[in-house]
Amino acid sequence: MTTQTVPGVDLAALRRRTLGLLAAGQILGGLGTGAALSVGALAANALAGESWSGMAATMSTLGAALLAIPLARLADRRGRRISLSTAALIAAAGVALCVLGMALGTVLILFLGLAGAGAATAAALQSRFAATDLAEPRTRGRDLSLVVWSTTVGAVIGPNLAEPGEIVGRALGLPPFSGVFVFAVAAQLVAAAAYASFLRPDPLTVAKQLALDAAPVVGSDGPAGRIGPPSPPGDLGLVRLAILATALSHATMVALMAMTPVHLMHGGASLSVVGLTLSLHIAGMFALSPVFGIMSDRLGRVPTILLGQAMLVFAALVTALGSHDQRLVVTGLILLGLGWSASTVAGSALLNDAAPAAHRVRLQGRGDLAMNLAGALGGALSGPVLAFVGYTGLAWGLLLPIVVVVAASVGGLTRGSRR
């Protein structure tokens, strides 16, 4: 498809510009929401007590899940430019609502704001698919992974803006913990303006035009001279595999990652050790994503998913057998991030490859919905599981969703579905 031409459009230049803009949007989005969510739990704790602090991340995840399909439908109808800029504006409004909730001392408004801020996560997930709209088939995984990689910048820098945010908040007369939300509002507004102003021509609109131009002319049985819409059959079996792999890999990652700080603190680890562990885990999630993108292009989507599951297995084994050794727990969290990265990048590329063209964007939205809901469920269940069977039992239990993904992936390979 992308070898076709559109009058007045340099596709190679448009691809490069689109990737650069999507990466910049990811950095801004991660910078803002990373800063806001880093203190969301503290704000909830201040307003409602410790038992409600975990709801901050849950509400943001649920907000991303609820917005995934509406934003995908908006993209399908109006293009990525409108969808992504709308998501950024919703996120900015959500973060502003968080400040209002803290000023009024109402935790319900804070939670509603955090749900709205989840639009930034929904936009980040959609951006990885937007990177594939005009990508050549042989580089689709690489382009997708480059946008995923750019998340690293905001994810790492964002949480470190809490202290400067307090300085800004005091200068503006805002309540404690709310100053950092100012950075988030500004970042999302800049991202919205960038998408609206510079994502032209819209990559999804151009991609649809290319598909339309490439469609065969209807023969004598149809209206003379009319160009029919493209109707590639796709492979819904592989679509289901892609959604299953990304959703269960995300649930596995969230479940173990969410409880690791609690386990380390109970074991006497310092805050610096906990922070280092999470930083290395985040690095594993994003820093090597281009490597996995290239691997999925060259070795195949399903083999790369299986590689990711193998790393998740090692992560579970290392943390289960070495739960009392901080160094082994750190190693396990790094492997956890790498396994998530390989599975998510390859699974997302597989979904894009296998989805029928007419329904691709909406299936992408369903995949994002499943991924966010699975992450929310994994995080919600990990606490009770930790209390019941401990950290070691939690790690062993994560082998179950991994086995499900491996079995489904092997089934995909046996059907001859290797790229």
Where are the domains positioned within the chain?
11-212, 236-413
Distance CA 30, CA 92 (A): 13
> pLDDT for 42-64, tens place per residue?
677 778 775 566 677 778 888 99
Question: Which tops the pLDDT comparison, 40 or 371?
Answer: 371
Mean pLDDT of the chain: 84
pLDDT attached to residue 173: 86
Distance CA 250, CA 402 (A): 11
Give the rounded percent of residues in the chain with a pLDDT score beyond 90: 49
Helix H, strand E, coil C: the string for 305-360 is: HHHHHHHHHHHHHHHHHCCCCHHHHHHHHHHHHHHHHHHHHHHHHHHHHHCCHHHH
Q: Give the mean pLDDT of 190-217.
A: 83
pLDDT attached to residue 11: 86
Q: Is the pLDDT of residue 249 over 60?
A: yes
Give the rounded percent of residues in the chain with a pLDDT score beyond 70: 86
Distance CA 210, CA 202 (A): 12
Instruction: Work out the pLDDT band at 190, boundaries 50, 70, 90.
Output: very high
pLDDT attached to residue 167: 85
Distance CA 74, CA 79 (A): 7
Query: What would the DSSP string read from start to end of 364-402?
Result: HHHHHHHHHHHHHHHHHHHHHHHHHHHHHHHHHHTHHHH
Instruction: Work out the pLDDT band at 220, boundaries 50, 70, 90.
Output: very low
pLDDT attached to residue 219: 38
Amino acid at position 168, single letter? V
Least confident among 68-77, 160-169, 286-295, 318-327:
160-169
Paired tokens of 285: 């999630």
Tell me the fold of 236-413: Growth Hormone; Chain: A; (1.20.1250)
The distance of Cα 137 from the centroid of its chain, to the nearest Å, equals 22
> pLDDT for 264-282, tens place per residue?
877 887 767 776 787 788 8
pLDDT attached to residue 331: 94
Q: Is the pLDDT of residue 223 over 50?
A: no
Matching fold, domains 11-212 and 236-413? yes
Tell me the fold of 11-212: Growth Hormone; Chain: A; (1.20.1250)
Q: Is the pLDDT of residue 411 over 90?
A: no
Q: Is the pLDDT of residue 370 over 90?
A: yes
pLDDT attached to residue 151: 78
Q: Is the pLDDT of residue 397 over 60?
A: yes
**Mean pLDDT: which of 173-177, 261-265, 304-308, 386-390 is highest?**
304-308
Q: Is the pLDDT of residue 342 over 90?
A: yes
List Cα–Cα distances, 322 to 140, 201, 330, 391, in angstroms. Answer: 38, 52, 10, 10
Q: Give the mean pLDDT of 278-305.
A: 90
Q: Give the mean pLDDT of 83-94.
A: 95
* Burial of 3 per CB tally in 10 Å (0-12, 13-18, 19+): exposed
Paired tokens of 388: 């019941």
CB 60 within 8 A of CB 121: yes
Tokens 């088939």 label which residue? 137
Q: What is the pTM of this model?
A: 0.82
